[in-house]
Chains A and B, each alone.
Chain A
Amino acid sequence: MTMHNKTIAEISRDLTAGEYSSAEITQELLARIKAQDSTYNSFITVSDEQAIAQANAADACRAAGNATAWTGVPMAHKDIFCTNGVLTTCGSKMLSNFVAPYDATIVDNFNQAGAVSLGKLNMDEFAMGSSNESSFYGPVKNPWDTERVPGGSSGGSAAAVAARLVPGATASDTGGSIRQPAAFCGLTGLKPTYGRVSRYGMIAYASSLDQAGTITRNAEDSAMMLNVMAGFDAKDSTSVQRNVPDYTASLNDSIEGMTIGLPKEYFSDALSADMQQQVRNAIAEYEKMGAKVKEISLPNTHLAIPAYYVIAPSECSANLSRMDGVRFGYRCEDPKDIEDLYKRSRGEGFGNEVKRRIMIGAYALSAGFYDAYYKKAQQVRRLIKNDFVSAFNDVDIIMSPVTPTPAFKFGENANDPVAMYLEDIFTIALNLAGLPGMSVPCGQVNGLPVGLQLIGNYFDEARLLNAGHQFQQVTDWHLKAPNGIA
């Protein structure tokens, strides 16, 4: 039986129906990873033994009559999430020997739910990148075209799901790191509201922007994953105490009468005609389903990237100070004194992009520059948030492209950090505002997938998932697989 092409929802139903066991599908996926992942490089660690043990335990649990929706369903984690006893590298040489001594809260959530973790997925180093070229473990290839990037930083999560190595994966999004790779790989990516999913055990890049989420094949699977991940965590001060709905319950609600806002700044001439067309077509589908469309303005959109490249580096410059070669992680050979230990461990352990961002942050926060950079960026951040707050007075949901172009080729932006940063132009403002966003496949340009971005009001994930699911009931972009993968 071929099981690798199944979605999470299908696997859950099949396991319930006894079509196959968790051990069987786990074995098949592990074999598939072994056979095919050398092409994509999506996994950093494959946890064969643990996965099989979890699958057997899940099958036993089912036999005992204690199965729930997730019992025995395989998935995998981005390597940014700490997994007790399993290597957790964050894509960096700095943590290339870091066997995490504890589980991230969401890892624990999936373990408790009975899910089977196949391993840890490749990513841009410390989640800094939009192409997965900054990983110490090498670039991840886009299954749609292995000459092209899968996007980043959750490139491993996207490539693994697109290549049908795993039905769904956790991911994280600080400036677009879920939505952009999902768009590049023809997948559904969900970045929840800041605070909806615990950050405990997710290695911090920019604490006030980071949010864990999902990359799956469709909205229904995203809802199933979010059901496991969302919720209050007493270990995270920024986690929100707020009821978690069953996100699958409202998937089939009608979207008739829903008002869609189209921000004019996101449909400028900078976006190619091809890309515009795909997104416009998707909006037309919504109109057919009874949604109303309204043009809106988010006037501070152009300031999102500059503000982000002050705030994220500033926070990361402090967050990554703990990587000092003292208590865990990489330590340089024969440090001659403590300063040498710090400088060489960090100089050798971090890649160039990470070093650049640490330095930008240190500079922005340093004496005499704080007001001009950090404080200014925090003020602009509020202007950007206010744009969205007032927009949501008039509309239920905002839609836009996810990326300016489809997946680009390796090396295209590698030597120009600023050009790379501009790739995130449509995704980054949401992180500054803390809003939920979703990427849904909505077309193709030159045979490469294109994503539609759905932006929701705070804690309106259920609406995003509902809108995504309804779109996927009338379109088949989410069913398309890369060539040679079925």
Chain B
Amino acid sequence: MEWEVVIGLEIHAQLATKSKIFSGSSTAYGAEANTQANAVDLGLPGVLPVFNEEALRMAVKFGLAIDAEIGLKSIFDRKNYFYPDSPKGYQTTQLHHPIVGMGHIDIELEGGVSKRINVTRAHLEEDAGKSVHEGFAGMSGIDLNRAGTPLVEIVSEPEMRSAKEAAAYFKKMHSIVTYLGICDGDLSQGSMRCDCNVSLRPKGQKEFGTRTEIKNVNSFRNVERAINTEIQRQMDVLEDGGVIRQETRLYDADKDETRAMRSKEVENDYRYFPCPDLLPVIIDQEYVEAVRATLPELPDAKKARFQSEHGLSLMDAAVLSSDRIMADYFEAAAKISGDYKIAANWVMGDVSAALNKNEIAISDIPVSAEQLGALLSRIKDNTLSNGGAKEVFNALWEGKGTDVDALIDSLGLKQVSDTGAIEEIVAQVLADNPKLVEGYLNTPEDKRAKAVGPFIGLVRKAAKGVNPQVVMDVLQKKLSELG
């Protein structure tokens, strides 16, 4: 049987507000347990919520970025369920009147194809606390620091047809929310989590198959792996004539398998109703337009501009625009150097490699865009060879200096590009190596280009820092004079 995969994602993105959605507690990550949980966050008797204006603004910003309808009247509801990390016994969320309605984003697939994925809705809600299972002698410890952190839950239409598409969608959402500055995008801290709804149906069938939901997948790679694993599991069940149970599953990345969640075994009746402690949130078009005016250039616009203004290829433009800080870094360095292609190659090449190797985020890069720009200028004006440039870059990275020109001097990396000087060296090398010259002259015409290699090595050995292009030109000229 040929199966078609149907995937919809629910992404929870923590909004980068300073304080919580309904209280004045800090949302900073990593504090000691329960030191950022006040009376409201703890759900003490008698406390009441008051809505954070910045959470509203950020959600509207997101809605505008995905070209969605904005809910001019949004309403908070209570979703009732008992769980120790949910201190009030209900989550405050938005069911029928979300702040963001139907919108869409485009994702890039292999071969430069893009696909539109519709976003059903995005609503505001509060995050839960955390349960810690290790270190409490068979008990669980509850930390409510995270409780009340504002979230937007972004719900897609079931329009993705492969794990790759789902991962591309998750990445694109990540790129959008970080561009907007409404989420720090730190997946390792749980700033963005993804629930994946996966089902299969025989190719050509209209009705959806029964879906399972994989909860809280928190990396791009794991979204792809978890979905593929779940697709395989479902396919095995279906091909064996079995049926898929609608259930919530967890992905175990170590074992690369999904398993049903025990705590979600009983189908919950959430008994939603409008939260009587919060009033309808009303905004007008003027408010929406004021937020729209603050929207930054978004990834798609930047990508298009990188192609049209800077002549980058689609793939280069897509890579460099996917992260706002990376894009800004690239543009600043390129502008100083005046060469966007060299800058693109460097940012995607040496710079990215160094970041990966040292596990550093672009936001914390030790080489500033100004330094990189100055460095690239010196490649462009032939002061530096590529190899020399790498040495300077490493020196900057390691903090051995801050000024590119000073480093070039102190490291003695200035390239000799003076043709006269190089001609003298080449003449000397040819005179000192008659056998090599003879060998070269016996080489058939069509293979001579390769045979120049050993001479280049000898010239560079004789004089450090010579411009390889000039050496090549002079060598070819002199050798051809010999026959």
Which residues on A are within 8 Å of B, measured CB to CB?
81-82, 88, 90, 95, 98, 100-102, 104, 199-204, 206-208, 234-238, 314-315, 317-318, 321-324, 326-329, 338, 342, 362, 365-367, 370, 374
Contacts and interface: CB of A to CB of B under 8 A. Distances in A.
B87 A367 contact: no
Interface string B121-143: 00000000000000000001010
Contact of A318 (B84, B89, B140): B89
B50 A314 contact: no
B82 A201 contact: no
Contact of B273 (A201, A236, A238, A374): A374
20 contacts: A82-B46, A95-B45, A100-B44, A100-B46, A202-B46, A203-B46, A204-B45, A206-B276, A236-B50, A237-B48, A237-B277, A318-B90, A321-B82, A321-B90, A322-B44, A327-B43, A328-B42, A328-B44, A362-B80, A366-B271
Interface string B32-47: 0000000100111111
Contacts of A338: 84, 140
Contacts of A201: 46-47
Contacts of A202: 46
Contact of B50 (A90, A235, A326, A329): A235
B465 interface: no
A203 B45 CA distance: 5
Contacts of B80: 317-318, 321, 362, 365
A200 B273 contact: no
B88 interface: yes
Nearest to A204: B46
Nearest to B90: A318
Interface in B30-81: 39, 42-51, 78, 80
Interface string B228-272: 000000000000000000000000000000000000000001011
Interface of B: 39, 42-51, 78, 80, 82, 84, 87-90, 140, 142, 269, 271-273, 276-279
Contacts of A90: 45
B44 A238 contact: no
A321 B46 CA distance: 13
A200 B45 contact: no
Nearest to A367: B269
A323 B44 CA distance: 9
A362 B82 CA distance: 13
A90 B271 CA distance: 25
Contacts of B140: 338
* Closest 4 A/B residue pairs (Cβ): A321-B89, A365-B271, A207-B276, A208-B276
Nearest to B88: A322
Given A314-B273, A322-B89, A326-B87, A237 B45 contact: no
Nearest to A198: B48
B244 to A, nearest CB: 22
Given A237-B278, A342-B82, A365-B271, A200 B87 contact: no
User: Which of B39, B47, B49, B272 has the most A CB atoms < 10 Å from its CB?
Assistant: B47
Contacts of B90: 318, 321
B44 A200 contact: no
A73 B343 CA distance: 77
Contacts of B42: 327-328
User: Which of A82, A203, A324 has the most B CB atoms < 10 Å from its CB?
Assistant: A324
Nearest to A95: B45
Given A318-B78, A318-B80, A318-B89, A370 B43 contact: no
Given A238-B277, A318-B273, A321-B90, A326 B48 contact: no
